[in-house]
A and B are shown apart, each in its own frame.
Chain A
Amino acid sequence: MKYKSQKIAWYFFAACMGLFLLQLVYGFIMGFAHMGMDGLHDIIPFNAASATHKNLLVVWLLAGFMGAAYWIIPEESGRELWSIKLAWVQLASLLLVGVTAVIGFHLNWWEGRKFLEIPRELDFLVVVNVLAFLFNLLMTIWKGKRITTTASVLFFGLLSAALLYLPGMITFDNIVFDSFFRWWVVHLWVEGVWELIMGAIMSYLLIKLTGVDREVIEKWLYIIVGFTFLSGILGTGHHYYYTGAPGYWLMIGGIFSALEPLAFLGMAMYAIAMARKGGRKHPNKIALTWTIGCAVMSFVGAGFLGFAHTLPSVNMYTHGTLITGMHGHMAFWGAYAMLILAMIAYVLPQVTGRKRYTDWKAEWAFWTSNIGMTGMVGAFAVMGVVQVYLERKGGMDFLEVQEQLHVHAAGLVIAAALFTMGIVLFFMNFCSYGMPNDETLGQED
């Protein structure tokens, strides 16, 4: 850890851990409901659980991005963070907004807009919060010694994410408009600018962990984010096939979203190639495992499983079925959750001064969670395929079909239990490092 103010990252990561564990609780509520065990229905109905599950994900991923940026930007800029106080205020207010939103969901205070359920009143607080965050970063970069590609891609990604939040705040009377602009936020975040953030954080980790020359890594960073935008921007069209937009989106969305796996494949090949090329043997092997794992699983989840239902002729049948759940779970896990866990794994030994690199919990956390998630995605796939054939093709009644799926939902819950064990192990490992301190202050990693 080079600068004192980088310690703030640990507190953001601690918030991530708490919100992540809570997210899993709500996942189980939904998993059991899909098994036919909906005993909590009167207190936490399915839609409250699903809004909470999704928004906790968004909030903890954002907290993770912020923590990562507060760690990376000072180091890349070669100075302390511009204002440590502002960062604290910003963390507290982010948590306040998140917790208020989650409580609101249980009291029927929300908007029925998938992923953007947070009521508009709170949206304004989110905007103020993110502006404070970006201002803090900008001042740090501005007053810093140098502006690196990694830092500028990271900042540009975060800034674009903030700007793209705005179309989601417009009110429409017509659901077709509402849906169209909702995807400006959701799609252009996760299949667009969030990938800039991902690319930048991954580059930082690869520079640190493999010792490959910065110039080489950053050159490939440009190529990969170039492919991301080349496919991802017009790839938004795959959300516009059957939601009221003109027919030309079938062709445009089909072609460009079919190219999206290439960006993820590029990312995976790049991470693996850099790790092989690197001469430096960094002792923090588990951080490199998470980094490579992230690149590979994001290709499998976002790239491959996304492609599985992105062509219009397939999507005609899979649109609005559990197939989407199959893709969504591994895409978010692979691309973003694992990225933040990689960053946490890298930062922990430095921020706490404990150079523990070979703990069984850390390794078991990686494998258990990934095997669990693979099982979950398998269960989702079976549920989705069965639903498509029985309901969409066979013409069976919706509820009849759902009852046929109870047994597969049980499989989902078992796999989810394995996944949760992995995350709990990660959390235990996180706790065993203790609180952040200044022991490694001034040391370059």
Chain B
Amino acid sequence: MLTKSAAKAFFLGGTVICAAAFVFLTVDTIAQFPDRSHEENMTPEVIHGFEIWTENNCMGCHTLMGEGAYYAPELTQVFRRRGEAWMTEFLKDPQAFYPNRRKMVQYDFYDAKKVGKEEAAKNIADTIAFFNWVGDIDLNGFTGDPNNGPEQDIEKAAAKAAAPTAAASASVDQLATLRSLNAVCAGCHTIGGGALVGPDLAGVANRFDAKYLTKWIQEPSTIKADTTMPNLGLGDAQVKELVDFLLTLK
């Protein structure tokens, strides 16, 4: 029968062996971290972005690399998913996005009124730089990504829509605006890819006219009080270009 001293030897021996193995693996892991996380791309902006992430306890709602609370979206691949343009717009006023739904905390760091326009813009840019860097870390295949709908090619969509009516084909200038907006709109809409957060916009020109679409873009909540469509605060010229484009989607 097992004696107490044998039991003690089992405890001490097992602990020492496992602890030694753990320390050995830790040394090896740490040696691999700079490569696996692409430390060479860790600019001061990225480090500042990480500070913003930590200081505001973003992990208290979001997850990053799958770690955090489970109240707000997983952000490991947010840069690939949304792109810089969308993220910049979003962070300027997160509560304007997804109105009537779960809210993000009103922080000072992105608030131009609290920290000044330049500071806010820098903080937003650095936060995005941080997410861009995180997206490249080798996570053994983990993305934590919901499949956010098929990727869209704005040029193809425009060309396809414009094909029957050559007159409505988008100009080069228009495409520049549309491309920058695409990243923002595609966060919620697709063209022929099915409904995501907002409806599929294929054939939207058959359903609505210019006036109605303009109003939707400029003041979404006057059409539908509980809508999740944000007011992006676009200029008149941009709205017109966007509506012209939407009217080609027959």
A399 and B67 contact, CB distance less than 8 A: no
Q: How far is the CA of A46 from the CA of B67 in the complex (A)?
A: 16
Within 8 A of B (CB), among A66-85: none
Q: Does A123 count as interface, using CB distance less than 8 angstroms?
A: no
B7 and A50 contact, CB distance less than 8 A: no
Q: Could you mark each residue 279-311 of chain A with 1 if its beta carbon is under 8 Å from any beta carbon of chain B, else 0?
A: 000000000000000000000000000000000
The interface residues of chain A lying within 8 Å CB-to-CB of B210 are none
**Given contacts A50-B71, A242-B142, A320-B70, is CB(A112)–CB(B53) below 8 Å?**
yes
Q: Does B185 count as interface, using CB distance less than 8 angstroms?
A: no
Chain A residue with minimal CB distance to B66?
A320
A33 and B65 contact, CB distance less than 8 A: no
The interface residues of chain B lying within 8 Å CB-to-CB of A173 are 42, 47, 50
Q: Does A236 count as interface, using CB distance less than 8 angstroms?
A: yes
Q: How far is the CA of A387 from the CA of B63 in the complex (A)?
A: 14
B142 and A112 contact, CB distance less than 8 A: no
Q: Could you mark each residue 377-409 of chain A with 1 if its beta carbon is under 8 Å from any beta carbon of chain B, else 0?
A: 000000000010001101111111111000000
Total number of B residues with any Cβ neighbor in A under 8 Å: 68
Within 8 A of B (CB), among A97-141: 105, 108, 110-114, 117
Total number of A residues with any Cβ neighbor in B under 8 Å: 75
Q: Does B59 count as interface, using CB distance less than 8 angstroms?
A: yes
Q: Does A265 count as interface, using CB distance less than 8 angstroms?
A: no
Q: How far is the CA of A246 from the CA of B28 in the complex (A)?
A: 9
The interface residues of chain A lying within 8 Å CB-to-CB of B69 are 46-47, 50, 114
Within 8 A of A (CB), among B14-65: 14-15, 18-19, 21-22, 25-26, 28-30, 32-33, 36-37, 39, 42, 47, 50, 53-61, 63-65
Q: Does A243 count as interface, using CB distance less than 8 angstroms?
A: yes
Chain B residue with minimal CB distance to A153?
B11
Given A45-B61, A244-B139, A397-B196, 19 additional A-B pairs, CB 8 A: A42-B106, A46-B72, A112-B55, A112-B60, A149-B4, A174-B42, A175-B134, A215-B4, A222-B11, A229-B15, A233-B15, A233-B19, A242-B66, A243-B65, A243-B139, A316-B142, A320-B65, A320-B74, A392-B146
Chain A residue with minimal CB distance to B138?
A244
When the two chains form the complex, which single residue of A30, A45, A179, A233 contacts B65, counting CB atoms closer than 8 Å?
A179
The interface residues of chain B lying within 8 Å CB-to-CB of A47 are 57-61, 69, 71, 105
Q: Which residues of A contact B (CB under 8 A)?
A: 30, 33-34, 36, 38, 41-42, 45-48, 50-51, 105, 108, 110-114, 117, 149, 173-177, 179-180, 215, 218-220, 222-223, 225-227, 229-230, 233-234, 236, 240-250, 252, 316, 319-322, 324-325, 387, 391-392, 394-403
When the two chains form the complex, which single residue of A46, A108, A244 contacts B36, counting CB atoms closer than 8 Å?
A244
The interface residues of chain A lying within 8 Å CB-to-CB of B63 are 320
Chain B residue with minimal CB distance to A52?
B60
Which of B96-104, B174-182, B230-238, B242-250 lies at the binding interface?
A: B96-104
Q: How far is the CA of A179 from the CA of B139 in the complex (A)?
A: 13
A229 and B29 contact, CB distance less than 8 A: no
The interface residues of chain A lying within 8 Å CB-to-CB of B3 are 219
